[in-house]
């Protein structure tokens, strides 16, 4: 047999086909070039996506450092000659009696009260659907799953009419109570609890004499920690960014969240000569309003990577 004879073609995933001299064949080099082009193409696509998502954040960061004239006179994506971030923050303290910071406090109240409450309900409901059999379980869960498809904006008017019957319009409860309902959170918790909490572990705890409440808190809850943090973040972010519901149910400026409050300033600035131009305060206020969300993701992301069984088997 010639020294240049080739070996048999390997199966998928095997070592590349080579000659008896140990050199890759022409076909192997073509395959490698094709794979290299695909990797380059995927990396270029990811870079484009990263730039697409970073550009608005970069613009907001740059705009927060400009005065109102600088927003229109300097390049949109670069800093102006004067750095006005601290002056803008000071303006937020003084404009309309510093009501912006009241709006920030309202957003914290609505987001964390609604987010924590929604997370508690989602954990209890998702665990119940996943680990208990009861009459009508499939039908009820189907209704919950179907409600995920309903746009939230379509429910604002019915929610307004329902809340008005109980006299809680223009109160914090008008924002907090609707925020407690999260059908997607229930779905996520049920799907996660089915795999993350083994039935054998629950049965072992019951055999050892643990009641249902103790079994849930000491066995199941530690296993659900990554899903709990995920649902909490989704609920908090959804309530923090909620705009249409507070716009419909709140009239008192002292009760507005930061999203609706900044929209009122935008309307006044768009009024032209008859309105006060506070574009610098709007951009700076928007920049400050996204910082809590960014910090929340940075500090809580480690819980997603934690071991699923930490503290549950003792």
Residue pLDDT, tens place only, 218-250 = 999 999 988 999 899 999 999 999 999 999 999
Q: Per-residue pLDDT for 303 more than 80? A: no
- What DSSP line would sit under 192-206, residue for residue? HHHHHS-HHHHHHHH
Q: Per-residue pLDDT for 6 more than 50? A: no
Q: Per-residue pLDDT for 82 more than 70? A: yes
Residues 303, 288: Cα–Cα separation, whole Å: 25
The three-state secondary structure class of 243 is: coil
Residues 255, 261: Cα–Cα separation, whole Å: 9
The mean pLDDT value for 283-300 works out to 90
CA 92 to chain centre: 27
What are residue 210's phi and psi, to 5 degrees? -80, 135
CA pseudo-torsion sign 110, 115, 121, 122: positive
Least Cα distance to 192 among 312, 305, 308 occurs for: 308
Mean pLDDT across the chain? 84
Q: Per-residue pLDDT for 24 more than 60? A: no
Q: Per-residue pLDDT for 21 more than 60? A: no
The mean pLDDT value for 186-195 works out to 92
Q: Per-residue pLDDT for 15 more than 60? A: no
**Joined tokens for residue 173:** 């409860």
pLDDT at residue 312, rounded to an integer: 42
Query: Which range has the worst mean pLDDT, 6-10, 132-136, 267-271?
Result: 6-10
The mean pLDDT value for 94-114 works out to 94
The mean pLDDT value for 187-205 works out to 92
The three-state secondary structure class of 208 is: coil
The residue ranges of every structural domain in the chain are 27-63, 96-304
pLDDT at residue 141, rounded to an integer: 93
Residues 227, 188: Cα–Cα separation, whole Å: 8
> Which one is the CATH code of 96-304: 1.10.3720.10, 1.10.10.10, 3.40.50.2300, 2.60.40.10?
1.10.3720.10
Residues 181, 106: Cα–Cα separation, whole Å: 19
Percent of the chain at pLDDT exceeding 90: 59
Residues 265, 269: Cα–Cα separation, whole Å: 6
pTM for this prediction: 0.81
The three-state secondary structure class of 19 is: strand
Query: Which range has the worst mean pLDDT, 16-25, 96-105, 212-221?
Result: 16-25
pLDDT at residue 269, rounded to an integer: 78
- pLDDT grade for 88, boundaries at 50, 70 and 90: very high
**Joined tokens for residue 92:** 């937020």
Residues 2, 245: Cα–Cα separation, whole Å: 80
The mean pLDDT value for 172-180 works out to 95
Q: What is the pLDDT of residues 25-63, one digit of tens each?
A: 666 666 666 666 678 888 889 999 999 999 999 999 999
**Joined tokens for residue 99:** 């009501």
């Amino acid at each position: 047999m010639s020294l240049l004879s080739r070996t048999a073609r390997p199966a998928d995933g095997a070592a590349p086909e080579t000659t008896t001299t140990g050199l890759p064949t022409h076909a192997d080099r073509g395959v490698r070039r094709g794979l290299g082009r695909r990797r380059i193409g995927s990396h270029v696509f990811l870079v484009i996506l990263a730039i697409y998502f970073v550009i608005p954040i970069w613009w907001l960061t740059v705009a927060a450092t400009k005065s109102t004239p600088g927003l229109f006179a300097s390049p949109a994506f670069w800093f102006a000659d004067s750095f006005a971030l601290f002056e803008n923050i000071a303006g937020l303290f003084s404009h309309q009696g510093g009501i912006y910071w009241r709006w920030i406090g309202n957003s914290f109240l609505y987001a964390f009260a609604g987010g924590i409450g929604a997370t508690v309900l989602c954990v209890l409901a998702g665990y119940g659907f996943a680990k208990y059999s009861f009459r009508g379980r499939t039908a009820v869960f189907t209704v919950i799953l179907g409600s995920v498809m309903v746009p939230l904006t379509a429910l604002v008017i019915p929610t307004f009419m329902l809340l008005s019957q109980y006299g809680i319009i223009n109160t914090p409860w008008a924002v907090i109570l609707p925020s407690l309902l999260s059908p997607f959170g229930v779905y996520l918790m049920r799907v996660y609890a089915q795999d993350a909490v083994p039935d054998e572990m629950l049965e072992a705890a019951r055999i050892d004499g643990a009641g249902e409440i103790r079994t849930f808190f000491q066995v199941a809850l530690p296993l659900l920690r990554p899903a709990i943090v995920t649902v909490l973040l989704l609920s908090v972010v959804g309530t923090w960014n909620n705009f249409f519901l507070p716009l419909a149910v709140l009239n008192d400026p002292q009760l507005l969240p930061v999203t609706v409050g900044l929209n009122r300033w935008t309307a006044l600035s768009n009024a032209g000569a008859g309105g006060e131009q506070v574009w610098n305060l709007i951009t700076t206020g928007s920049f400050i309003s996204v910082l809590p969300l960014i910090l929340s993701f940075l500090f809580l992301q480690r819980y997603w990577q934690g071991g699923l069984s930490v503290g549950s088997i003792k």
